[in-house]
Every structure is written in structure tokens, then in C-alpha cells.
Amino acid sequence: MFNEDQNASPINHVPAVVVLVCMVIGAVELVLQAGEYGLIGGQNAVGWRLVAVTDYGFFNQVLSWMLENRKFPAEEMLRFFSYPFIHASFSSVIFAFVLVLAMGKMVAEVFSQAAFLVIFFASTIVGALVYAAVLDARVPLIGAYPAAYGLIGAWTFIMWIRARHDGTNQWRAFNLIGVLVLLQLFFGQVFGGGFGWVSELGGFVTGFALSFLLAPGARARFQHWLEALRRR
């Protein structure tokens, strides 16, 4: 279990579904960049990014309206699935692209391509719900970071199980998320960043939790834990 080649390049033989998701992320940004630089779309294209954020970003106010009125129009529900493909800048999309590609490759290979999609979009949805529940924010939520952190959660699960099999310290599997959270807090204090990290933390917990159900041998592992609990 979990015996993939540690020395393999993270970009070799990337599963098709991971490539597809990354291509969509990249294609959206390329179109927005081309519009901003006047290469396509004419003068109106300069505002395409703002239009994309307005039409496809996740807004707390939109969710509040839906819950208050008990109406859930498809075009508004779509925001839960569309916001991870819109980013604020080229530098933002590059980092998200790399995270999704690297972590997605491992998750899709170790779990399955279907599991990758489940974790990607479940983390996106939960990340948005956590963002809305914790923050009274007027700033829309955009970017693939909640999904990327969900994949990091699944990767952490892989490292956690591997450490258990190897007899090493399982808590070391959480080193990456610990470092990322500390960096988020640091840059937030120094540069006045927002609180979008709460959605990313929600994505991480979602990815880690879903891994118990999606990882190979999940049913056997669950039955083993039940038996262990019964013996106590």
C-alpha cells in the first residue's frame, strides 16, 4: 500500500483528470491575461477579470440570500464549483497550479482519478461554507487554494498511514500543513493579508477526512479500527 516510487518526477505521467483540471485553471487565466494586455476582446476585455469574479466568484451575501429566501438557482449554486478556476493575479494562479498538479498527481495515483475529483470539489464546497460561516466578509472567495489544501490533506493522510506502516512518528505527516499555516499567519501579519486561510483550512480538513473513505483498503481499515474499539 502507498508504495509509489519516491524518486519519480512529480510531473511525469500525470493522470488525465489532473491534467484536465490544471488545463482549465491555466486556460481561464490565459484568457484573462490576454484580455488585460489587449490581445483579445478589445477595450472591454480589460475588465474581464472583474466580470469573472462578479459572475463566478463565491460571495457570502449570495449564500445568505439563498438561505434566507430558500431559493437555490443553478447559476448561483454554480459559484461553489466555478470560483476555484478564477484567480486574482498571474502569480496567484501559478502557485495554485503547481500545488494542484503536484498534490493531485499523488492523490490520483494512490487513490483514484475519481477520488481526486471528489476531494477537489468537496474541499472547494466546504472551504466556501467555512468561509461564509466564520467570516462576515464582503470580499469574494476565489482561487483553487481550498481545493489544493484539500489535496494536501489527502497527501497528509498518505504520509500518516505510511508512517504508521513504517513505525515512524505519524505526527511528522502534518509538518507541511503546519508550515503552510504559519506562513499564512506570518504574511497576514506583515502584509495585511485577509482571512482566506480559513477556507483553506476547511479544505485541508475535508481532504484528510475524506481520505478515510477514499483511500485503498478503506473498508478493511475501518473494520480493523472497529474491532480494536470493541476489544477495549
State how far the Cα of 220 lies from the Cα of 163, in Å rounded to an integer. Answer: 18
Q: Are 218 and 212 in contact (CB under 8 A)?
A: yes
Q: Are 85 and 25 in contact (CB under 8 A)?
A: yes
Among 77, 78, 53, which Cα is nearest to 65's? 77
H or E element: which one contains 144? none
Q: Are 52 and 78 in contact (CB under 8 A)?
A: no
The contacts of residue 44 (CB under 8 Å, 6+ apart) are: none
Among 28, 65, 72, 64, which Cα is nearest to 49's? 28
Q: Are 214 and 118 in contact (CB under 8 A)?
A: yes
Q: Are 93 and 87 in contact (CB under 8 A)?
A: yes
User: pLDDT (tens digit, 0 to 9) for every residue of the chain, 232 residues total?
Assistant: 554 455 555 456 899 999 999 999 999 999 999 999 999 998 889 999 999 999 999 999 999 999 999 999 999 999 999 999 999 999 889 989 999 999 999 999 999 999 999 999 999 999 999 999 998 878 999 999 999 999 999 999 998 888 877 777 777 778 877 777 776 665 555 444 566 789 999 999 999 999 999 988 776 766 776 777 777 6
Among 204, 5, 18, which Cα is nearest to 105's? 18
- Scanning the structure block, which residue is given the C-alpha cell 483498503? 217
Give the global pTM: 0.86
Given CATH 1.20.1540.10, say whether it is the number of domain 16-231: yes
- Scanning the structure block, which residue is given the C-alpha cell 474499539? 229
